[in-house]
Amino acid sequence: MATLVINIGNSSLFCGVFAGARAAKVFRLPIDAAVRLPARVRGRIERAAVSSVVPALTPEVLRLIRRTWAVEPAVLTATAAHGLKIGYRVPAQLGADRVAAALGARTLYPRRHVIIVDCGTATTVTALCADGTVAGGAIFPGVGLAAISLARGTAQLPAAKVRRPRAALGRSPRDGIASGCYFGQLGAIKEVVARVRGEAFGRAAAVVVGTGGGAAAFECEGIFDGVVPDLVLRGLAVFAGRD
C-alpha cells in the first residue's frame, strides 16, 4: 500500500512515499511550491498523512492531495489519536512535527527513552519516555536562522553560509559568524540534551537521535547515537496506518 506523507515546515515541504514501513522516495520542495507535488509522485497513492507548523498552508496541501489522488489525508496534531501521551501543560501546543518525530522514534527504539534533536529552521530537543510519553523539551534558533538574525539585526555583519569551520578562531567577519553559529549550536545541543536527559530520565540510559535537514552537519561531533533524516516522515507513515 503506497502512503504519501508530508511535513509542512517553516522552510520546505518534506515529502515521502512509503511502501509499508519502507521509504520508497523522499524529497523536499520549497515552501511555496506545493503545486509541484503531483509531478514528483508517480503512481497510485492509497493513503496520506500530513503534519504542519504552517497552518496557513495546510488547507492548500490537503486540497491538492484530495484532488490529485482522491484520498482523505490524516492530519497529525498533538491532540489526534496517535497513541502517545503528551506531557505539556497544554498538549495542543506541542508542534505536530515533534509529535511525528516522536512516533518515528518510538517505532525505531521501542520501550526505550529517546531524546530527539531536530535540526531545522529551529532546533528542537524532545524527550520521549519509554512508556510513550512526550515529556517536553526545548526550542532554540537553528544554525542557519542564527546567521540570518546576525545579518538582519546588525549594521555591519554580513550574511554568511554556515558550514563546519576548520577552526574556531575566525579571522574575518564571515569566518567568525561561521564559527560562532556552528560551535555555538554544537554547544547548545550538548548542554540542552544533558539537562533534558537529567530532568526527564535521571540516570537512566537514553538514545540521542538527530534528525532534520541540519543534523548531518553535526554527525561527526559524537553528540548523536544515530542520525535518521526522515524520522518525521517515518512517524507520519505510522500515523497514516492507524485505523
For residue 140, with 0-12 CB atoms within 10 Å meaning exposed, 13-18 middle and 19 or more buried, which class applies? middle
Cβ partners under 8 Å of residue 57, min gap 6: 8, 31, 34
What does the alpha-carbon distance between residue 74 and residue 61 come to, in Å, rounded to a whole number? 12
Q: What are phi and psi of 168, to 5 degrees?
A: -80, -20
131 is catalytic: no
Q: How many CB atoms lie within 10 A of CB 185?
A: 23
Identify how many contiguous H helices and E strands the chain contains and give both numbers.
6, 11
HEC string of 5-19 equals EEEECCCEEEEEEEE
For residue 175, with 0-12 CB atoms within 10 Å meaning exposed, 13-18 middle and 19 or more buried, which class applies? middle
What does the alpha-carbon distance between residue 177 and residue 61 come to, in Å, rounded to a whole number? 36
Of 97, 131, 230, 243, which is the active-site residue?
97
Positions marked active-site: 97
